[in-house]
C-alpha cells in the first residue's frame, strides 16, 4: 500500500481520505488547524510553507491538492500555495494530483472536453490556468509528475454551503417543503459532479501512472437542470413538489455589494445562464469508471439527511 498526503479536509478531502484509508493506504491529512476525519494521521501546517509541506510529504507516493481558498481571495492565496505544492512534488518525488475546476475554459458552446483551449477571461479562471501550465511544464521538463482532475459543481453527502445544490442550502429546505432561492434560471441544464466520484477519481489518478502528465474530467453524469434535480430529489424522498425560485438579477447584483462571495459569483454566472455540459468520456474509458447514476446518488443523499435529521424536524 502507498503513502498518501492529502491537503484539505473539506467536502472532497474527507471523502478521499476515507476512500484511501479503507483501501489500506497510509493517509496523512494536512489542514491549517490540524483537523480531519477519523482513522488517519492529522497534521497542522500552512500549505504555503514549502519547507514544512516538504517535511510532511517526505517519502509520500502521492500529494493531493484538495484545498479551496476563500472564493474572493483566489488571486492572492492560490499562487503561493500552488508554488509550494509544485516545489514539494519536485523535492520529494511524490506525484502531485490537483483537484481543479472548469473555469479555465471560460464560456464555451457545447460539451467541455479536456482538449479545449484554456481561454478563461475571468481572474479565477486565469489563476487556475497558470497553476496547471506551471505544473505541466515541470512534468514535461522531468522535474515532477503531475496530473489535474476537473469537476463541475459538487453535490452529495458532506457537501458544504458553497455547493449550489448542497445539503444545507438546497436539500434540507426542499425536503422540508420550504422555498429555495436560486441565483440563475433553474431550468437551464447543468452538469453536477458527485462527491464520492471525485474521491474515487482522485484515488485512481494518484495510483495509476496512465493519469500523469495531462488533465482529466471527473466522471460526471448527463446535465440536468436545477429544477429537474430538485423534482427528482423530492419525488424519490416523497417530499412536497419543490419550490425553486430565481432571484432577479438586480437583487443578485445588489447582494454582491455586501457579500464578497456573491460579488465573485458574477464572474462565473455564465455557467448557469446557458447549458453547462461536461464530457468525461476520456477518464471513463481509460480507467473503467462511470459516474454514479443520479437516482442512486440522490437516494444516498436522502438517507444521509434522514440519519442526521430527527423525526419531525
Query: How do the domains of the chain map onto residue ranges?
Result: 3-152+194-217, 153-191+222-308
pLDDT-based confidence at residue 171 (cuts at 50, 70, 90): very high
Please report the pLDDT score of residue 259 as a whole number. Answer: 60
State pTM to two decimals.
0.94
Please report the pLDDT score of residue 271 as a whole number. Answer: 87
Percentage of the chain beyond pLDDT 90 is 79
Please report the pLDDT score of residue 31 as a whole number. Answer: 97
pLDDT at 159 over 80: yes
How many C-beta neighbours within 10 Å does residue 140 have? 11
Rounded to an integer, what distance in angstroms lies between the CA atom of residue 305 and that of residue 146? Answer: 36
Burial of 162 (0-12, 13-18, 19+ CB in 10 A): middle
Report which DSSP code applies to 278: B
Task: Tell me the per-residue pLDDT of 10-19, one tens digit each, with 9 for 90 and over.
Answer: 999 999 999 9
How many C-beta neighbours within 10 Å does residue 108 have? 16
Please report the pLDDT score of residue 251 as a whole number. Answer: 62
pLDDT at 264 over 80: no
Structure-derived torsion over alpha carbons of residues 85, 87, 90, 92, reported in degrees to the nearest 10: -70
Task: Tell me the per-residue pLDDT of 36-72, one tens digit each, with 9 for 90 and over.
Answer: 899 999 999 999 999 999 999 999 999 999 999 988 8
pLDDT-based confidence at residue 302 (cuts at 50, 70, 90): very high
- The H-or-E segment that residue 83 falls in is helix 74-92
The topology under which CATH files domain 3-152+194-217 is Rossmann fold (3.40.50)
Q: Determine if residue 264 is left, alpha or beta; phi over 0 gives left, psi from -120 to 50 gives alpha, anything else beta.
A: alpha
Rounded to an integer, what distance in angstroms lies between the CA atom of residue 127 and that of residue 82? Answer: 10
CATH homologous superfamily for 153-191+222-308?
UDP-galactose 4-epimerase, domain 1 (3.90.25.10)
The answer to whether the beta carbons of residues 5 and 94 sit under 8 Å apart is yes
The mean pLDDT value for 199-222 works out to 98
Burial of 197 (0-12, 13-18, 19+ CB in 10 A): buried
pLDDT at 287 over 90: yes
Please report the pLDDT score of residue 308 as a whole number. Answer: 79
Task: Tell me the per-residue pLDDT of 225-260, one tens digit each, with 9 for 90 and over.
Answer: 999 999 999 999 999 999 998 876 666 565 555 566
Provide the grid cell at 45.
501546517
pLDDT at 263 over 80: no
Amino acid at each position: 500500500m502507498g503513502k498518501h498526503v492529502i491537503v484539505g479536509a473539506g467536502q472532497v478531502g474527507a471523502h478521499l481520505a476515507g476512500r484511501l484509508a479503507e483501501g489500506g493506504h497510509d493517509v496523512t491529512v494536512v489542514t491549517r488547524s490540524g483537523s480531519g476525519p477519523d482513522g488517519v494521521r492529522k497534521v497542522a501546517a500552512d500549505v504555503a510553507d514549502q519547507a514544512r509541506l516538504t517535511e510532511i510529504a517526505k517519502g509520500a507516493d502521492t500529494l493531493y491538492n484538495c484545498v479551496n481558498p476563500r472564493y474572493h481571495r483566489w488571486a492572492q492565496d492560490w499562487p503561493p500555495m500552488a508554488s509550494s505544492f509544485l516545489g514539494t512534488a519536485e523535492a520529494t518525488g511524490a506525484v502531485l494530483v490537483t483537484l481543479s475546476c472548469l473555469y479555465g475554459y471560460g464560456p464555451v458552446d457545447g460539451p467541455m472536453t479536456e482538449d479545449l483551449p484554456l481561454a478563461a477571461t475571468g481572474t479565477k479562471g486565469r489563476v487556475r490556468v497558470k497553476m496547471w501550465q506551471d505544473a505541466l511544464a515541470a512534468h514535461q521538463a522531468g522535474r515532477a509528475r503531475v496530473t489535474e482532475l476537473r469537476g463541475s459543481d459538487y453535490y452529495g453527502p458532506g457537501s458544504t454551503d458553497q455547493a449550489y445544490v448542497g445539503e444545507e442550502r438546497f436539500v434540507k429546505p426542499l425536503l422540508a417543503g420550504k422555498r429555495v432561492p436560486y441565483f440563475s434560471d433553474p431550468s437551464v441544464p447543468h452538469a453536477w459532479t458527485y462527491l464520492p466520484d471525485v474521491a474515487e477519481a482522485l484515488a485512481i489518478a494518484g495510483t495509476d501512472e496512465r493519469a500523469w502528465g495531462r488533465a482529466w474530467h471527473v466522471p460526471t453524469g448527463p446535465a440536468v437542470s436545477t429544477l429537474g434535480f430538485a423534482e427528482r430529489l423530492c419525488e424519490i424522498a416523497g417530499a412536497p413538489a419543490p419550490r425553486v425560485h430565481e432571484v432577479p438579477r438586480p437583487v443578485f447584483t445588489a447582494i454582491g455589494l455586501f457579500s464578497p462571495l456573491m460579488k465573485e459569483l458574477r464572474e462565473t454566472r455564465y455557467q448557469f445562464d446557458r447549458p453547462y455540459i461536461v464530457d468525461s468520456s476520456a477518464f471513463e474509458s481509460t480507467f473503467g469508471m462511470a459516474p454514479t447514476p443520479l437516482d442512486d446518488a440522490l437516494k444516498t443523499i436522502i438517507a444521509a439527511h434522514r440519519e442526521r435529521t430527527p423525526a419531525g424536524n
